[in-house]
Amino acid sequence: MINLAHLNLDQIRLAIRGDAFHCPSANDFQFQPNLLILVDEHGDIAACVSDQDPAQAALVEALSQQGKLQQLQAGQYLLPGLVDLHCHAPQWPQAGKGLDLPLYDWLQNYTFPLENRYQSNEFAQPVYQDVSRTLLANGTTSAVYFASIHRQSTEVLAQTCLQLGQRAYVGKVNMDNAEQCPEFYREADTDAAIADTEAFIQNVQSLAGNQHGLVRPVVTPRFVPSCTPMMLSKLGALVQKYDVHMQTHCSESDWARDYALQHFGCSDVQIYSDAGLLNNKSVLAHSIFLTEQDIAQIKQVGAGIAHCPLSNMYFANAAMQTRELLDSGVQIGLGSDIAGAPSPSIFRAAFDAVSHSRVREEGVDVHLPANQRGSANARINFVEAFWMATAGGGQVLDSAVGQFQPRYHFDAIVVEASPFIGNLRIWPEFDSPRDILEKIVCLAQKENVKQVWIQGQQRL
**Spatial distance between the Cα atoms of 429 and 322, rounded to a whole number of angstroms:** 34
The nearer residue to ligand GUN, 47 or 288, going by C-beta atoms, is: 288
CA count, 13 A, side-chain hemisphere, 243: 1
Report the residue closest to ligand GUN, judged by CB: 340
Residues 6 or more apart whose CB falls under 8 angstroms from that of 73 comprise 18, 416
> What's the closest the beta carbon of residue 107 comes to ligand GUN, in angstroms?
6
* Binding of residue 284 to ligand GUN (CB under 6 A): no
* Binding of residue 268 to Fe ion (CB under 5 A): no
Q: Give which of 338, 309, 342 is closest to 323, Cα–Cα.
A: 309
Binding range to ligand GUN, per CB under 6 A, among 103-111, 128-136, 192-200, 316-324: 103-111
* Binding of residue 84 to Fe ion (CB under 5 A): no
Kind plus residue range of the DSSP H or E element containing 248: strand 245-250
The nearer residue to ligand GUN, 69 or 107, going by C-beta atoms, is: 107
> What's the closest the beta carbon of residue 395 comes to Fe ion, in angstroms?
20
- Paired sense of beta strands 173-174 and 215-221, if any: parallel
φ, ψ at 148 (rounded to 5°): -125, -170
Q: Which does 187 bind (CB under 5 to 8 A by kind): Fe ion, ligand GUN, none?
A: none
Are 346 and 99 in contact, with CB atoms under 8 Å apart? no
The nearer residue to ligand GUN, 187 or 438, going by C-beta atoms, is: 187
For residue 181, give the DSSP letter: S
Q: Give which of 355, 358, 356, 351 is closest to 423, Cα–Cα.
A: 351
* Binding of residue 307 to ligand GUN (CB under 6 A): no
* Binding of residue 337 to Fe ion (CB under 5 A): yes
Are 194 and 207 in contact, with CB atoms under 8 Å apart? no
* Binding of residue 223 to ligand GUN (CB under 6 A): yes
Q: Residues 327-366: x/- map of binding to ligand GUN (CB under 6 A)?
A: ----------x--x--------------------------
CA count, 13 A, side-chain hemisphere, 20: 24
Q: Which does 223 bind (CB under 5 to 8 A by kind): ligand GUN, Fe ion, none?
A: ligand GUN
CA count, 13 A, side-chain hemisphere, 277: 30
* Binding of residue 222 to ligand GUN (CB under 6 A): yes
Binding range to Fe ion, per CB under 5 A, among 266-274, 331-339, 355-363, 407-415: 331-339
Q: State the burial class of residue 302 (Cβ atoms within 10 Å of its Cβ: 0-12, 13-18, 19+).
A: middle
Question: Looking at 17, 22, 88, 281, which residue binds ligand GUN (CB under 6 A)?
Answer: 88
The nearer residue to ligand GUN, 238 or 310, going by C-beta atoms, is: 310
> What's the closest the beta carbon of residue 264 comes to ligand GUN, in angstroms?
16
**Which residues in this chain contact ligand GUN in the complex, by CB under 6 A?**
88, 103, 107, 111, 222-223, 249, 252, 311, 315, 337, 340
